[in-house]
Structure 1
Amino acid sequence: MTTNANEALVEVHRGPVLECTHRGQVAIWRHGEGLIAGIGDTEARILPRSSSKMIQALPLVESGAADARGLTPEHLALSCASHQGAAIHTDRVTAWLADLGLSESDFRCGVQWPNDVPARDALICSHCGPDQRHNNCSGKHTGFLTYSQHIGAGPEYVDPSHPLQAAISEAWDDVTDEPNPEFAIDGCSAPNFSTRLSGLARAMAAYAAATPDGGARQAAMVRLREAMMLHPDLVAGEGRACTRLMRAMGQRAAIKTGAEGVFVAIVPELKIGVALKIADGATRGSEAAITHILGALGVLDPKHPEALAFTHGPIRNWNGIETGHYRIADALSGLQL
């Protein structure tokens, strides 16, 4: 195990020239054993950003709110999503809100243009703008509203003093097995609790090892991870790494990206959780790194076209000319699992 704060994980080559190196940290945790592999400073404290949405969704399920509202795996997948704002996402969010007797104005996530090109173009061509349903976190926020309504709490659910955030904080400390007193405000205005990278990997391993009969929290973990694996199109969307790689793995792992180069994986058959952080925040670096790790763990064929696309490329310019490729750096390619 290396000890430098950040190690070279992914290289970007343009022609014969090494143009960029993405450095970072990796923690791989097996439930019942602890940290089984690491690169860089695995005790570094990070903000997990959207990679933690399955933790933020725990109160929704374990409180009974999800069952009281008859939520399906599709709803639970959306509650963990950073979606594209495509019709398959916003239509479901709209229907879910209607079931609650609420509307888009009850959100506190903010307005965001959809990343889905057809949805964006349809708004432009109809001379309309987006609303909060198009926010990539609107599924999570609908889950927040569902929980808040279930317990009779007030509408300002992103306030750090709100009962929902207190429930998330308790769940966070439990699954990471460490106190996490610090938080920052995320892009969607909700608190995002900091953690050590190893703690985040430990939490993902807890999800991986959870069983339906292990109590309310473990049962909730199982339902959330299975919803993500069953509906990868709702967790992200067409063209996105989370969706493409979960499809390629055939429900063998649940994975989730987060802003600023964070990525996590839940691998139930191995009871393993993975957490990684790219120091410069580059998504292409985190996507390449998680793809390689999933291949090394044996749950993704490294030669699958989707795996090669993220770990090798090719990189093409606007004319479709191949200009370069990615390469997994030695510290990551030599990781012993």
Structure 2
Amino acid sequence: MIELWRGGLCESLHFGHAVIADANGVVAAWGDPGAVIFPRSSCKMIQALPLVESGAADAHGLGGRQLALACASHNGARIHIEPVAAWLDGLGLAEADLRCGAHLPADPDERRRLICALESPCQIHNNCSGKHAGFLTLNRHLGAGPDYVDPDHPVQRAVRRAFEEVTGEEAAGWGIDGCSAPNFACSVAGLALAMARFARPGDGRRGQAQRRLVKAMIAHPELVAGEGRACTELMRAAGGRAVVKTGAEAVFVAILPERGLGVALKIADGGTRAAEAAITALLVHLGILAEGDPVVQRYLTGPLRNWRGLATGELRRAEGFPA
């Protein structure tokens, strides 16, 4: 799908699978649309469906910012951690109630503050803390036990039901994600179909929930990822025409409401560089981004530079991708 060229020679190749779907099924595909993958964090909007559908979001007064954070893999900047902390406080809960674990934030300012203050990061700095705040909100609504990441917990049973319904597949299995929540496996085609259903939702509670989550993500791209991140920059460049969400190990999805299309891709080697280039290529192919847009140059067509600023190579679309 993506090639790296240096000195006139092809140095690296990134193989993968990609699917464009509408609500009826596959529209276009590269690689194997039936390849089974873990969507990782690319499916957070699916994991947030029970939060909205159950009435928990409305019962606890959640607005668009909280819903965007429920779908986020955020940088741990102040704009992310402060509203998550306030969200937990409004539930009468604290950082210790989270089950996502702690890691240093990706945001350089917050990381520097912690290091200079000799402070350790807390679980609210975890890039999935918004998703987990959403789980805790649903858990409060259901009146269930504290271990909400257990695959047999009512929260995760609700997530699995929603996942299987929108992908149109029985989960092929599950694994434990980096944030300790179960992550259910599906085909690339099933993931693309799920995104298409978010792009062209039906009536009823499910459709209303899908619309609210898409609207929240489009309205708050800075909360979905953060400054300098591909999801945020691609959504800003799309000007409300696309939701873009990454997942670990080189998964990307896109929701295109105007077109009624969903996109899913997986780079086989897990390389983020290629996944960002591939989703950018597909957004150009679908007319969401212009070839000359600076964000396209950053993630796909611009030169790769070394530490002195010298152009050393370039990424290219492989022949036939996208056709």
Normalised by the size of structure 2, how large is the TM-score? 0.98
Cα offsets for 1:119-159 (capped at 9, x unmatched): 10000111111010110000000000000001111110000
**What is the CA–CA distance in structure 2 between the aligned matches of 1:325 and 1:117, rounded to whole Å?**
27
SS in 2 for 1:170: helix
Q: Which amino acid aligns with 2:282?
A: I
**What is the CA–CA distance in structure 2 between the aligned matches of 1:312 and 1:122, rounded to whole Å?**
35
**What is the CA–CA distance in structure 2 between the aligned matches of 1:181 and 1:154, rounded to whole Å?**
27
Alignment of 1:299-318 (within 5 A): 299-318=288-307
For 2:253, the equivalent position in structure 1 comes to 264
Residue 100 of structure 1: which of 69, 82, 91 is its match? 91
**What is the CA–CA distance in structure 2 between the aligned matches of 1:248 and 1:115, rounded to whole Å?**
22
**What is the CA–CA distance in structure 1 between the aligned matches of 2:4 and 2:71, rounded to whole Å?**
30
**What is the CA–CA distance in structure 2 between the aligned matches of 1:93 and 1:19, rounded to whole Å?**
43
For 2:212, the equivalent position in structure 1 comes to 223
SS in 2 for 1:93: helix
For 1:5, the equivalent position in structure 2 comes to none
For 1:6, the equivalent position in structure 2 comes to none
For 1:203, the equivalent position in structure 2 comes to 194
For 1:16, the equivalent position in structure 2 comes to 8
**What is the CA–CA distance in structure 2 between the aligned matches of 1:314 and 1:129, rounded to whole Å?**
38
Q: Would you say how many aligned residue pairs link Structure 1 and Structure 2?
A: 323
Q: Which amino acid aligns with 1:267?
A: L
Residues 36 and 172 of structure 2 are in contact (CA less than 8 Å); yes or no, is this contact kept in structure 1? no
Residue 35 of structure 1: which of 26, 33, 42 is its match? 26
Matched, 1:88 2:79: yes
Identity within the alignment, % = 56
Q: Which amino acid aligns with 1:261?
A: A
For 1:3, the equivalent position in structure 2 comes to none
**What is the CA–CA distance in structure 2 between the aligned matches of 1:60 and 1:10, rounded to whole Å?**
37
Q: Which amino acid aligns with 2:73?
A: S
Q: Which amino acid aligns with 2:230?
A: A
Cα offsets for 1:82-123 (capped at 9, x unmatched): 000111000111111110111111000001110111110000
For 1:67, the equivalent position in structure 2 comes to 58
**What is the CA–CA distance in structure 2 between the aligned matches of 1:110 and 1:14, rounded to whole Å?**
40
For 1:238, the equivalent position in structure 2 comes to 227
Residue 135 of structure 1: which of 121, 126, 129 is its match? 126
For 1:183, the equivalent position in structure 2 comes to 174
Structure 2 residues without counterparts, runs of 5 or longer: none
**What is the CA–CA distance in structure 1 between the aligned matches of 2:276 and 2:36, rounded to whole Å?**
20
Q: Which amino acid aligns with 1:122?
A: R
For 2:145, the equivalent position in structure 1 comes to 154
SS in 1 for 2:106: coil
Could you list the runs of 4 or more consecutive aligned residues of structure 1 that deviate by over 6 angstroms after TM superposition?
A: none
**What is the CA–CA distance in structure 2 between the aligned matches of 1:92 and 1:314, rounded to whole Å?**
38
**What is the CA–CA distance in structure 1 between the aligned matches of 2:109 and 2:309, rounded to whole Å?**
22
SS in 2 for 1:88: helix
**What is the CA–CA distance in structure 2 between the aligned matches of 1:184 and 1:331, rounded to whole Å?**
33
**Displacement after TM superposition at 1:318 (Å):** 1.5
Matched, 1:331 2:295: no
**Displacement after TM superposition at 1:313 (Å):** 2.6
For 1:118, the equivalent position in structure 2 comes to 109
**Displacement after TM superposition at 1:16 (Å):** 1.9
Cα offsets for 1:34-76 (capped at 9, x unmatched): 2110001100111000001000000000100001111111000
Structure 1 residues without counterparts, runs of 5 or longer: 1-8
**What is the CA–CA distance in structure 2 between the aligned matches of 1:95 and 1:160, rounded to whole Å?**
27
**Displacement after TM superposition at 1:181 (Å):** 4.7
What is the RMSD of the two structures over their aligned residues, measured on CA atoms?
0.9
Residue 250 of structure 1: which of 239, 244, 247 is its match? 239
SS in 2 for 1:270: coil
Matched, 1:282 2:271: yes
Q: Which amino acid aligns with 2:295?
A: E
Residues 174 and 182 of structure 2 are in contact (CA less than 8 Å); yes or no, is this contact kept in structure 1? yes
Q: Which amino acid aligns with 1:222?
A: R
SS in 2 for 1:91: helix
Cα offsets for 1:195-241 (capped at 9, x unmatched): 01100000000000015xx1101110111011111100000000000
**What is the CA–CA distance in structure 1 between the aligned matches of 2:244 and 2:19, rounded to whole Å?**
14
Normalised by the size of structure 1, how large is the TM-score? 0.94
SS in 2 for 1:318: coil
